[in-house]
Amino acid sequence: MTGKRIQAFFLAGVLAGSLLLTACTEAEENNAANESGTEKVQTESAGESVPESEQDTVIVAMSPEAEPESGFDPVYGWGAGEHVHEPLIQSTLTVTDENLEIGYDLATEMECSEDGLTWTVKIRTDAYFSDGEKLTAQDVAFTYNQLRDSSSVNDFTMLESAEAVDESTVVFHMNRPYSIWPYTMAVAGIVPEHAYDETYGQHPIGSGRYLLTQWDQGQQVILDANPDYYGEAPEMERVVIVFMEEDAALAAAMAGQVDVAYTAASYAEQEVPGYSLFSCETVDNRGFNLPAVERQTLEDGTVIGNDFTANVNVRRAINIGIDRQELIDHVLNGHGTPAYSVCDKMPWYYEGSQVEYNLEEAQALLDEAGWKIGEDGIREKNGVKASLEIAYPAGDSVRQAIAADCANQLKELGIDATSRGVGWDEAYTLALSEPLMWGWGAHTPMELYNIYHTNADTGLAEYSPYASETVDEYMDQALEADSLEESYELWKKAQWDGESGITQEGDIPWIWLVNIDHLYFVRDGLEIAPQKLHPHGHGWSIVNNVDQWSWNNQEG
Amino acid sequence: MGKKTAFRLGRQLLRAVVILLLVCFVSFSLTVISPIDPLQTNIGQAALGSMSPEQIEKLEQYWGMNTPAPERFLEWLKGIVKGDLGVSLAYRQPVTDVIFEKLSNSFLLLVFSWLISAAAGVLLGMIAGAYRRRLPDKIIKTGCMVLSSTPSFWVALVILLVFSVWLKWFPIGFSIPIGVIAEDVRMAERIQHAVLPAAALSLTGVASITMHTREKMIEVMNSDYILYARAKGMGMGKILFSHGLRNVLLPAVTLQFASVSELIGGSVLVEQVFSYPGLGKAAVDAGIGGDVPLLLGITLLTSVFVIGGNLAAEILYGLIDPRLRKKEEVSKT
Amino acid sequence: MRKTGEKERNRRRETLVTTALLVFFLVLITVLGVYWKEDALLTDFSRKNLPPSLRYPFGTDFMGRDMFKRTLTGLSMSIRLGVVTAAASALLAGAAAVLAVNTNRAVDTLFQGCVDVVMGIPHMLLLILISFACGKGFFGIVMGITLTHWPSLARVLRAEALSLKAKPYMRLAGKLGVTKWALIKKHYIPHLLPQFFTGLFLLFPQAVLHEAGMTFLGFGLSPEEPAIGIILSESMKYLVMGQWWLAVFPGAALAATVLMFFGLGQKICLLIDPASVQE
């Protein structure tokens, strides 16, 4: 009797519980039901799991940060976001080649008007979207207008409007001259006007080399070759991207589950049987800013400037007082190159930015600036101790280690340097008065502008207080230049024109330290096509040309 | 009698609804007073770098930074009634979709651990109670004490270390195998991916239920009824399962319902360790990334579970009480 | 009769000795941690990634930090934070319970509502929310732990206070015009004290575990700070490379510390009220 009652109670409890649960999830089920892409159905029929390396499949492990959370929508940053790369699923008007010069994808010719305010681009006529519709100038204009209106991650304010004048010609009307527009065109994937809505990012339709077959959010993306692609057919039929933390990626390589696993310098010494280390040079740089004005409080209460780093000799001393090779050996286990600017090796890089490590000269510069060694070994001037706190974004262990090592090196100069992790919500404001460990490096000279050009409102540069009229002028001229070649020269002059600039001889408001090699464990037998210099972000850049990768047949 | 029960049930239900409303209010207020700027935490540094002030203003609009809080709260409540929790800022999808996706991963995990910890806890508790102050009891008691002193994520870490890194029996993370189309994923593979997280999660819940059951069991063992049965020479196994179980099961289930909160809290930590893309991990990411709508949505849903669990526990308590009274009467006669 | 008295006394002495030992160890960890704070922050790339040795019992990490000193400093912070938050939480619980019983119904209802809300949101999520509300810093963790741990103790204390209130002499005292405040001071506080301390000691381990959990998830402190959760979350990266000691040793040290707190709690309960303790 009692036993039965207990059973009944138990059942009732379970029922009540599950009823509650189903009631809550029912509403959501309806929403999810029509998303066949993400719905999970299990079938009994599947045989053994898919062989690990088929001849035309490649599995790449990437950082979870590389996953485009808002989907594969160029308007919301896919390809053209913080981390720039080719959008694969969509085509772009132009492309950048291995030397980061401009080539054509959809475009067949382009022209800029005398005043720099009108760009006319002709596009190819044999491109189709994967739903069979033809890609026209109308789609291009739609995409750019959409980018201008709603891009949540990229700046398109220089574009007034895009207009399709005929089936295959699109005209961009600009608000201001923008000579480097082709670099913007290289990352903006073209979306179909007829199939674009809010949910586009979940099931994108494009004209690129690959189609999105499946996306398990937080886990993996499966891309299959586009059979109707207008260009050369991809060699890799299927590309699987899995998103894992560095340690999981290494484990996956050890278990032979992936063909390419991104990795960090701290793991690079691991021996993974059947894999070898593949290293890509980058402009993914790390460096810190030195506020170049005296400490002051603005009207809104923000503190800017730093009395110690306001002295140019102090900044110069720091620039040559840090042994970049030591950083590379200590933190990157040798997998990096010294950085001397935000754009090393780019067509617009001024070669004279390079400096040699020289501790004595650095000491002398500091002495000259009036900062003398005190009794405790710390420099001081007028009773003030020379101190710096290098902030780094919490959660980035490489920047943390670089900041710590820099602090250790600065101590040798007699500067009381420490490091501290901060969140991004705090970091920007902090950087106005203290050094912050940044990471930059993009395939566009616009970055120079963003870092060094003054802001009309404040009269100072955006991220770290600094102002130079000459530097501003050169950069303004560069944007108005008639040709890219001409603009490159002006960008270089902005860095150093023989008299002033932002290099060691100049004002040196930022200290550039290292370019971090992007490292991968690659399964033996996989041929990865030559890479262009990777930009900031250890993510999708590696698969820019995944269509040209191939398997060596010897292993089978 | 029936009317009275119905009345009581109705009152409890109403109370649960009121609590839920309060939960909405409190959690929303907490996000409002936060000084965190969603713009700066969500848009990466380099991207903000290449942006003009107009652009940034446009973004502030998108992130709803310019609408007053009470207005947003009312909008949000209205949405909830319609089953619309807003749009996740980071995923740019309806929060309900994101939650459904994550819940479908977590659900298996939560249910399994809930059942496993209950079963194991009851079993261990009964053994400990039956062999009070003897070796099995001492072992179980010490085990429970150690377990409840150990952070769940560390238990998870050690499990991961032993079974995935050293023995390589189980995958290191994820809820599905790599590179397999959804249709081809077999249930067995899903389960294989959920085993370790479920084990870690069960372990963290097992201690409290074991100790609770042990106490109940001691009570039962001391009752006249059992003393009589033992005097009559009934075997220990029979005593345990025919008499012990029926008396400790209901309290155990009650406790288990009341500890849904712990279970969900544990899953937040455990999913992080196993990079298991479930609700808990989503909550952490939303909290760190400043994705307020998603964080609120997850809070709301999990609170429904917890409050539902508490309600179930309360109802069960109501059931236990009269029964205990009746049983006492029985044993007296 | 005398014999049991002696046994009782022996047992009491034993309890006292154990308690003293536990307190000694906990204080030792706290003091050593504070003493080694500087060393725990020190980075030295020339000694990075060393396995455990006599010099570095827990090995060193990727920046060449001494993990033994780092762990102790982290534990020291956990203990101090645990004591502060548990005490604050328990005081909050006590105050809330006494207030709820001694004022009007509205306050009591408010009290019940607060308890229900705090217990209605999964603990970890509430911690995340409060930490988010406080801007995620160290302050967020302190607030989170303080504001989320009081309800269960408050419930117990409220029930206790209610039963006291129902006592005839209390009602009489009320009628005789003894002020509420005097009643609280003379009767409620002494009456609730044993329960209060028992609850307080049960809160310590929870507070410490939750602090570790929150810093593990990345809320709260910046990564160079030696917090036990941060140490453990960093260690996850090195498990694959076989540096298991970075995870196992600090975690075990944390478990041992919490266990000591547990033990201490039980012993203190035994000293306060020998009868109340269920073996």
Mean pLDDT confidence for B260-285: 88
Mean pLDDT confidence for A376-400: 90
- Mean residue pLDDT of chain A comes to 85
Set of chain A residues whose Cβ sits within 8 Å of the Cβ of C45: 330-331, 401, 405, 408
Interface contact C188, partner B, CB < 8 A: no
From C158, C146, C147, C152, select the one nearest C95 (Cα to Cα). Answer: C158
Dihedral class, residue B320 (left if φ above 0, else alpha if ψ from -120 to 50, else beta): alpha
Q: Which residue type, as a one-letter code, is found at position B225?
A: Y
Is residue C277 predicted with pLDDT exceeding 50? no
Is residue A228 predicted with pLDDT exceeding 70? yes
Decide which of C28 and C135 is more confident: C28
User: 10 Å Cβ neighbour count for B331?
Assistant: 12
Domain boundaries, chain A: 1-67+240-280+517-556, 72-216, 285-515
Is residue A29 predicted with pLDDT exceeding 70? no
- Confidence class for position A81, pLDDT limits 50, 70, 90: low
Q: Is residue B91 part of a domain?
A: no
Mean pLDDT confidence for C158-167: 87
From A167, A171, A187, select the one nearest A105 (Cα to Cα). Answer: A187
Query: Which of these ranges, A207-211, A307-311, B169-173, C193-197, has the smallest mean pLDDT?
Result: B169-173
Is residue A117 predicted with pLDDT exceeding 80? yes
Set of chain C residues whose Cβ sits within 8 Å of the Cβ of B269: 124, 213, 216-217
| Residue pair C115/C155 in contact by the 8 Å Cβ criterion | yes
Judge if B129 and B236 occupy the same domain: yes
Judge if B183 and B50 occupy the same domain: no
Set of chain C residues whose Cβ sits within 8 Å of the Cβ of A248: 240
- Predicted pLDDT of residue A41: 34
- Predicted pLDDT of residue C225: 86
Mean pLDDT confidence for C133-158: 90
Q: Is residue B330 part of a domain?
A: no
Judge if B57 and B103 occupy the same domain: no
Is residue A25 predicted with pLDDT exceeding 50? no
- Predicted pLDDT of residue A38: 35
Q: Distance between CA B170 and CA B195 in Å, rounded?
A: 8
Q: What is the ipTM of this complex?
A: 0.84
User: 10 Å Cβ neighbour count for A194?
Assistant: 12
- Predicted pLDDT of residue B167: 81
- Predicted pLDDT of residue B321: 61
Q: Distance between CA C41 and CA C45 in Å, rounded?
A: 13
State whether B150 and C218 contact (CB < 8 Å).
Answer: no
- Mean residue pLDDT of chain B comes to 81
Judge if B267 and B313 occupy the same domain: yes
Is residue A16 predicted with pLDDT exceeding 70? no
| Residue pair A30/B318 in contact by the 8 Å Cβ criterion | no
CA distance C22 to chain B (A): 15
CATH of residue B225's domain is 1.10.3720.10
Q: C169-186: b or e for each residue (b if 16 or more CB lie within 10 Å)?
A: ebeebeeeeeeeeebbee
Q: For residue A516, give both structure tokens.
A: 């971090």
Percent of chain A with pLDDT over 70: 88
Domain range for residue B51?
3-82
* CA C102, chain centre distance (Å): 28
State whether B149 and C116 contact (CB < 8 Å).
Answer: no
Alpha helices in chain B (DSSP H): 2-33, 38-42, 45-49, 53-62, 69-81, 95-130, 135-149, 152-159, 187-222, 224-231, 236-238, 245-258, 260-273, 279-289, 292-332
- Predicted pLDDT of residue B204: 82
Q: Is residue B90 part of a domain?
A: no
Judge if B64 and B208 occupy the same domain: no
- pLDDT tens for C112-125 read 899 999 999 999 99
State whether C213 and B287 contact (CB < 8 Å).
Answer: no
Query: Which of these ranges, A88-92, B119-123, B252-256, C92-96, has the smallest mean pLDDT?
Result: B252-256
pTM: 0.81
Q: Is residue B249 part of a domain?
A: yes
Q: For residue A295, give both structure tokens.
A: 């400490």
Most confident of A216-230, A319-333, B289-303: A319-333
Set of chain B residues whose Cβ sits within 8 Å of the Cβ of A450: 49-50
Query: Which of these ranges, A166-180, B180-194, C143-157, has the smallest mean pLDDT?
Result: B180-194
- Mean residue pLDDT of chain C comes to 87
Q: Is residue B328 part of a domain?
A: no
Q: Which residue type, as a one-letter code, is found at position A486?
A: E
Is residue C51 predicted with pLDDT exceeding 70? yes
Residue A534: phi and psi, rounded to 5, are -70, 140
Q: For residue B50, give both structure tokens.
A: 């290449």
Set of chain A residues whose Cβ sits within 8 Å of the Cβ of B190: 42
State whether A25 and B164 contact (CB < 8 Å).
Answer: no
Is residue A306 predicted with pLDDT exceeding 80? yes
Judge if B318 and B247 occupy the same domain: yes
- Predicted pLDDT of residue A301: 81
CATH architecture group of domain A72-216? 3-Layer(aba) Sandwich (3.40)
**How many domains would you assign to chain B?**
2
Judge if B67 and B101 occupy the same domain: no
Is residue A256 predicted with pLDDT exceeding 90? no
Query: Which of these ranges, A207-216, A268-277, A497-506, B47-56, has the smallest mean pLDDT?
Result: B47-56
State whether B33 and C235 contact (CB < 8 Å).
Answer: no
Q: Distance between CA C42 and CA C60 in Å, rounded?
A: 11
Decide which of B167 and A519 is more confident: A519
Interface contact B186, partner A, CB < 8 A: yes
Q: For residue B216, give both structure tokens.
A: 């109940």
- pLDDT tens for A288-305 read 999 999 999 988 788 999
Mean pLDDT confidence for A171-187: 92
- pLDDT tens for A464-494 read 999 999 999 999 999 998 888 899 999 999 9
Is residue A205 predicted with pLDDT exceeding 70? yes
State whether B246 and A6 contact (CB < 8 Å).
Answer: yes
Bridge partners, A103 (sequence order): A95
- Chain B window 302-321: which residues touch A at a Cβ cutoff of 8 Å? 304-305, 308-309, 312, 315-316, 319
Cα dihedral C207, C208, C210, C214 sign: positive
Q: For residue A5, give both structure tokens.
A: 């009652």
Q: Distance between CA B209 and CA C113 in Å, rounded?
A: 27
Mean pLDDT confidence for B108-127: 91
Domains observed in chain C: 67-254 (1.10.3720.10)
Q: Distance between CA C133 and CA C130 in Å, rounded?
A: 5
Residue of B nearest to A219 (CA): B174
- Predicted pLDDT of residue A80: 73
State whether A400 and C223 contact (CB < 8 Å).
Answer: yes
- 3-state class percentages of chain A: helix first, strand second, coil last, to nearest 5: 30, 25, 45
Best of C240, C243, C244 to mutate (most A CBs within 10 Å, chain A): C240
| Cα distances (Å, whole numbers) of residue C168 to C172, C173, C175 | 6, 9, 11
- Which of B55, B82, B109 is at the close of a domain? B82
Is residue C74 predicted with pLDDT exceeding 70? yes
Decide which of A39 and A461 is more confident: A461
Q: For residue B303, give both structure tokens.
A: 């609170």
> Nearest by CB to C241, which of A267, A395, A404?
A267
Percent of chain B with pLDDT over 90: 19
- Which of B82, B113, B137 is at the close of a domain? B82
Is residue A448 predicted with pLDDT exceeding 80? yes
Set of chain B residues whose Cβ sits within 8 Å of the Cβ of A423: 41
Check if CATH label 3.10.105.10 holds for domain A285-515: yes
Is residue B216 predicted with pLDDT exceeding 80? yes
Q: Is residue B241 part of a domain?
A: yes
Is residue A260 predicted with pLDDT exceeding 90? yes
Judge if B148 and B265 occupy the same domain: yes
Mean pLDDT confidence for C51-76: 91
Q: Distance between CA B308 and CA B299 in Å, rounded?
A: 14
Judge if B272 and B163 occupy the same domain: yes
From B110, B106, B82, select the one nearest B94 (Cα to Cα). Answer: B82
Q: Distance between CA A143 and CA A162 in Å, rounded?
A: 9
- pLDDT tens for B74-108 read 888 888 888 888 877 777 778 898 899 889 888 88
Size of interface B-C (CB pairs under 8 A): 158
State whether A240 and B305 contact (CB < 8 Å).
Answer: no
Instruction: Give the HSE-up count for residue A435: Cα atoms under 13 Å, Cβ half-sphere.
Output: 30
The terminus-to-terminus CA distance of chain B in angstroms comes to 25
Decide which of B181 and B249 is more confident: B249
Interface contact C262, partner B, CB < 8 A: yes
Q: Is residue B331 part of a domain?
A: no
> Nearest by CB to B149, which of C205, C217, C235?
C205
- Predicted pLDDT of residue C183: 84
Q: Distance between CA A469 and CA A448 in Å, rounded?
A: 14
From A89, A83, A45, select the one nearest A67 (Cα to Cα). Answer: A83
The terminus-to-terminus CA distance of chain C in angstroms comes to 22
Residue A288: phi and psi, rounded to 5, are -125, 155
* CA A489, chain centre distance (Å): 25
Judge if B220 and B103 occupy the same domain: yes
SS3 C236: helix
- pLDDT tens for B132-186 read 888 989 999 999 988 888 888 888 888 888 887 788 788 776 667 776 666 677 7
- Confidence class for position C126, pLDDT limits 50, 70, 90: very high
Mean pLDDT confidence for B20-34: 90
- Predicted pLDDT of residue A1: 37
From A52, A398, A53, A63, select the one nearest A248 (Cα to Cα). Answer: A63
Size of interface A-B (CB pairs under 8 A): 206
Q: Distance between CA C274 and CA C266 in Å, rounded?
A: 10
Alpha helices in chain C (DSSP H): 2-35, 37-41, 67-102, 105-120, 123-133, 138-148, 150-165, 168-175, 180-183, 189-217, 228-239, 245-272
Judge if B73 and B173 occupy the same domain: no
Judge if B160 and B234 occupy the same domain: yes
